[in-house]
Amino acid sequence: MTTPGRGLHGRVLDTLGPEITGGGYPPGSVLRTDELAQRFDVSRSVMREAVRVLESMHLVESRRRVGVTVRAESEWNVYDPQVIRWRLAGADRPRQLRSLTVLRSAIEPVAAGLAARHATPEQCAELTERALGMVAHSRGHKLEGYLLHDVAFHRVILEASGNEMFARLGDVVAEVLAGRTHHDVMFEDPDPAAVTLHVRVAEAVRARDAARAEELTREITVGALQELDILAP
């Protein structure tokens, strides 16, 4: 997604990373660097670099005289974009999308509220532009065009919040939205109510109405939760 073949160690990670995040090795499993190097037909230096990266993601732990042991899932750096991508590509993709959608539902309303206070005129403009783009692509099976504007819309909201922690979730939201469009729910055209909500959020931000922007965004994310049968009674 980001950088396909950035060297041999990257190539190794492309297959070893998903294997680990996919649960291919139970926690505590021990891998030997030399064996891995042999398996991937690379030198020990390259293999060591790959292991270092996995170690920095807390996927594995390297100890002398023992080897490279796979850590429990609860220790992984699940916010690492690479780890997120690997997990979304794996078997428990549905569970991932649920986790991330719940995360969205917590973050985005607050981000929208902040955006209403901090958005620049340019950001306000792009927001309405994207909302209108969503309207324009909401009928007639133009799902790809719709997705494009949807992703951009939420990205602007997160960036306009002025909080860098929120802003950095843009990629995550993009993955979730793309996942919804391509693999899971979303049958025909998108829900007209959701489209309208986006337009109203753009208006609220433009009007500097933080409370309304927050509440409207909350409605959007509640809709996303419902799509995945995550109840909030």
Q: Is 31 in the site for DNA (CB under 7 A)?
A: yes
If 0-12 CB within 10 Å is exposed, 13-18 middle and 19+ buried, where does residue 65 land?
exposed
Instruction: Spell out the alpha helix ranges (H) of 141-209.
Output: 143-160, 164-167, 170-182, 192-206
Q: Is 68 in the site for DNA (CB under 7 A)?
A: yes
Stretch near a copy of itself under the rule CB under 8 A, chosen from 98-106, 131-139, 176-184, 187-195 = 98-106
Q: Is 69 in the site for a copy of itself (CB under 8 A)?
A: no
80 binds, among DNA, a copy of itself, none (CB under 5 to 8 A by kind): a copy of itself
Q: Is 109 in the site for DNA (CB under 7 A)?
A: no
Q: Minimum CB separation from a copy of itself for residue 148, in Å?
A: 21
Q: Minimum CB separation from a copy of itself for residue 53, in Å?
A: 4
Tokens 């850590």 — which residue? 71
* Cα separation values, 175 from 53, 150, 197, Å: 22, 12, 21
Instruction: Spell out the alpha helix ranges (H) of the chain.
Output: 8-21, 33-40, 44-56, 81-88, 93-118, 121-136, 143-160, 164-167, 170-182, 192-206, 210-227
Rounded to whole angstroms, the Cα distance separating 17 from 86 reads 7
Site for a copy of itself (CB under 8 A): which residue of 20, 114, 147, 176?
A: 114
Stretch near DNA under the rule CB under 7 A, chosen from 45-53, 92-100, 159-167, 181-189 = 45-53
User: What residues have CB less than 8 Å from 215, skipping those under 6 apart?
Assistant: 109
Residues contributing to the site for DNA (CB under 7 A): 6-9, 31-34, 41-46, 48-49, 51, 62-68
Residues contributing to the site for a copy of itself (CB under 8 A): 9, 45, 48-49, 52-53, 55-57, 73-74, 77-82, 99-100, 102-103, 105-107, 109-111, 114, 163-168
